[in-house]
């Protein structure tokens, strides 16, 4: 088997830089507009809602929550990439060997994600997380909140930071460990690295199982501090994993269309398509399991979460709520149902792009109603931040892809992957 080296041309890198530049310009425009106009005002809304629709939100708060949103989204994609590789190892999977370097390279974003996450939390914790306000825990303060005070054993800044740092340290450690073994295998061959990778992956999966759930509670669920849901860890995991699968599939297709990954054929795409299809349904299953029980029981402390996203907040999030289901469930479900659709690049491309956008919206819907509330909208700041993150992500990801051969030349299951047939 011959090596395949990806070469990212200067032109492509410049495109990514241009993406970041446009993002920064949009951000500056958005910030200036907000600072000068005191926020974008919405004339819509009726009666009482109109009064609350004008809650002023500072541009710093809006910027910080956007940074948080995009960083959680992209970190999740990177993490789920490493998870995908680990699952393939533990399952002794043969088919995925040819595309394995793609999810592997996603992990290169993790260190950046860790640093950004830490910085945004240190500077913006009060803007993003209600529970970080000191007064909530002080019995003599007018702000005292017995419910949140009762959670202080878990939800306190020090423990939160420890968890964040430990998780990122573990993820980066395991990512580097797996990656090093994978590259050493290319250089030296033999099955030692393969067997070692299986053991590393098994350990990582245990770490991932716990840390992905806990980080979902910390980074996303704790924004709505009073609310809780036992499905939430799964929900965020499903969202991360399906976005990551979409990113992997899209990258494989783009690489293939540019003449790389020559041995990847419709059979590999078919399996990736099945993954995207299945986990879109899995995400919906978790979404519905969470929604229906809360809707049925109709207990105020639980249903407030969905009221905030439907009729609450001046109906600000209603369209996103339904778009979310449409783009992330109905669209992939109907389009990817047939065998032919999963084997055609164009269909997969359309669906994966829709899913990547749809799950960004999903995270938007998880974070904005609890922070920006009625003043949330998708404007220059949102698009700008997303573009900057996308640019940075693509730069690190493509750089990671160029660091090793796209074909893991000495993987023991390479031959099986080349002859994969479904």
Partner 1 sequence: MTKKFVLGIYDDEDVLLQAIENVRAAGTKIYDVFSPYPVHGIDDVLGIKRSRLPIVAFFCGLFGTSFALWMQIWMLGFDWPMIIGGKPHIALPSFIPVTFELTVLCAAFGMVITFFIVSRIRPTTRVNVFDKRSTDDKFVMAIEVNEGTTDISTLNNLLRSNGAIEVNEKEVIK
Q: Name the one range near partner 1 by CB under 8 A: 49-57, 98-106, 290-298, 352-360.
A: 290-298
- By CB under 8 A, the count of residues binding partner 1 is 10
- Closer to partner 1 by CB, 138 or 301: give it: 301
- Cα(345)–Cα(340) distance, integer angstroms: 10
Identified binder of partner 1 from the candidate list 25, 210, 292, 326, rule CB under 8 A: 292
Distance between CA atoms of 125 and 73, rounded to whole angstroms? 18
Residue among 377, 384, 312 nearest 39 (CA): 377
Give the whole-angstrom CA distance, residue 227 versus residue 26.
34
Instruction: Pick between residue 46 and residue 421 the one whose CB is nearest to partner 1.
Output: 421
Among 337, 353, 378, 402, binds partner 1 (CB under 8 A): 337
Neighbours of 15 (CB within 10 A): 12
Question: Does residue number 338 form part of the binding site for partner 1 (CB under 8 A)?
Answer: yes
**Sole binder of partner 1 in the list 154, 228, 291, 331 (CB under 8 A):** 291
How near is the Cβ of 338 to partner 1 at its closest, in Å?
Answer: 7
CB of 86 to partner 1, least distance (A): 28
User: Binding of partner 1 at residue 177 (CB under 8 A)?
Assistant: no
- Rounded CA-CA distance 399/403 in Å is 7
The Cα angle at residue 343 between residues 6 and 413, in degrees rounded to 5 = 55
- 421 is an interface residue for partner 1 by CB under 8 A: yes
d(CA 67, CA 59): 12
State the Cα–Cα distance between residues 357 and 351, nearest whole angstrom.
10
Stretch that binds partner 1, among 84-92, 142-150, 246-254, 285-293 (CB under 8 A): 285-293
**For partner 1, which stretch binds (CB under 8 A), given 35-43, 219-227, 284-292, 372-380?**
284-292
**Whole-angstrom distance, CA of residue 317 vs CA of residue 105:** 35
296 binds partner 1 (CB under 8 A): yes
Give least dist CB 318 to partner 1, A. Answer: 16
State both tokens at 255.
């690489």
Q: Is 295 in the site for partner 1 (CB under 8 A)?
A: yes
The rounded distance, in Å, linking the Cα atoms of 290 and 235 is: 8
Can residue 299 be called a binding residue for partner 1 (CB under 8 A)? no
How many angstroms separate the CA atoms of 395 and 373, rounded?
A: 33
Q: Give the largest Cα separation in the chain, rounded.
A: 72
Q: Does 188 bind partner 1 (CB under 8 A)?
A: no
Query: Any contact of residue 288 with partner 1 (CB under 8 A)?
Result: yes
**Does position 326 bind partner 1 by CB under 8 A?**
no
Measured CA to CA in angstroms, residue 322 lies from 127, 275, 318, 378 at distances of 27, 24, 7, 16
The residue with tokens 């999903």 is 362
> Site for partner 1 (CB under 8 A): which residue of 10, 142, 298, 319?
298
Q: 3-state DSSP call for residue 144? A: coil
Q: How far is the CB of 83 from partner 1 (least distance, A)?
A: 27
Residue 339 makes contact with partner 1 by CB under 8 A: yes
Nearer residue to partner 1 within complex by CB, 163 or 343: 343
Residues forming the site for partner 1 (CB under 8 A): 288, 291-292, 295-296, 298, 337-339, 421
């Amino acid at each position: 088997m011959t090596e395949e080296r990806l070469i990212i041309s200067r032109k492509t890198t410049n495109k990514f830089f241009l993406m970041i530049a446009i993002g920064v310009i949009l951000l500056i425009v958005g910030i200036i507009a907000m600072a000068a106009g005191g926020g974008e005002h919405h004339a819509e809304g009726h009666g009482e809602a109109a009064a609350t629709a004008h809650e002023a939100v500072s541009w710093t708060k809006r910027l910080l929550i956007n940074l948080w949103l995009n960083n959680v989204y992209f970190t999740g994609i990177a993490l789920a990439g490493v998870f995908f590789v680990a699952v393939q190892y533990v399952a002794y999977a043969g088919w995925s060997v040819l595309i394995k370097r793609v999810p592997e390279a996603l992990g290169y974003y993790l260190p950046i994600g860790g640093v950004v996450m830490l910085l945004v939390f240190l500077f913006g914790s009060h803007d993003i997380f209600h529970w970080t306000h000191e007064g909530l825990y002080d019995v003599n303060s007018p702000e005292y909140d017995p419910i949140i005070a009762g959670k202080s054993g878990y939800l306190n800044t020090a423990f939160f930071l420890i968890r964040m740092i430990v998780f990122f340290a573990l993820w980066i450690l395991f990512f580097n460990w797996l990656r090093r073994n994978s590259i050493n295998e290319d250089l030296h061959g033999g099955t030692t690295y393969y067997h070692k990778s299986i053991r590393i992956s098994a350990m990582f999966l245990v770490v991932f199982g716990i840390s992905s759930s806990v980080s979902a509670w910390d980074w996303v669920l704790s924004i709505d501090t009073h609310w809780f849901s036992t499905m939430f860890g799964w929900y965020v995991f499903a969202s991360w994993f399906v976005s990551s699968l979409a990113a992997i599939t899209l990258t494989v297709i783009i690489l293939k269309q540019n003449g790389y990954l020559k041995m990847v054929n419709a059979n590999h795409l078919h399996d990736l398509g099945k993954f995207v299809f299945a986990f879109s349904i899995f995400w919906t299953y978790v979404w519905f399991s969470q929604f229906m029980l809360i809707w049925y029981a109709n207990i105020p402390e639980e249903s407030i979460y969905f009221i905030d996203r439907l009729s609450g907040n001046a109906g600000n999030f209603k369209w996103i709520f339904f778009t979310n289901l449409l783009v992330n469930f109905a669209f992939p479900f109907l389009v990817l149902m047939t065998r032919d659709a999963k084997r055609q690049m164009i269909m997969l491309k359309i669906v994966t792009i829709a899913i990547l956008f749809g799950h960004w919206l999903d995270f938007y819907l998880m974070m904005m109603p609890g922070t920006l509330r009625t003043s949330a909208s998708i404007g220059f700041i949102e698009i700008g931040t997303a573009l900057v993150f996308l640019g940075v992500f693509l730069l690190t990801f493509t750089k990671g892809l160029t660091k090793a051969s796209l074909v893991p030349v000495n993987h023991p299951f390479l031959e099986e992957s080349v002859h994969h047939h479904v």
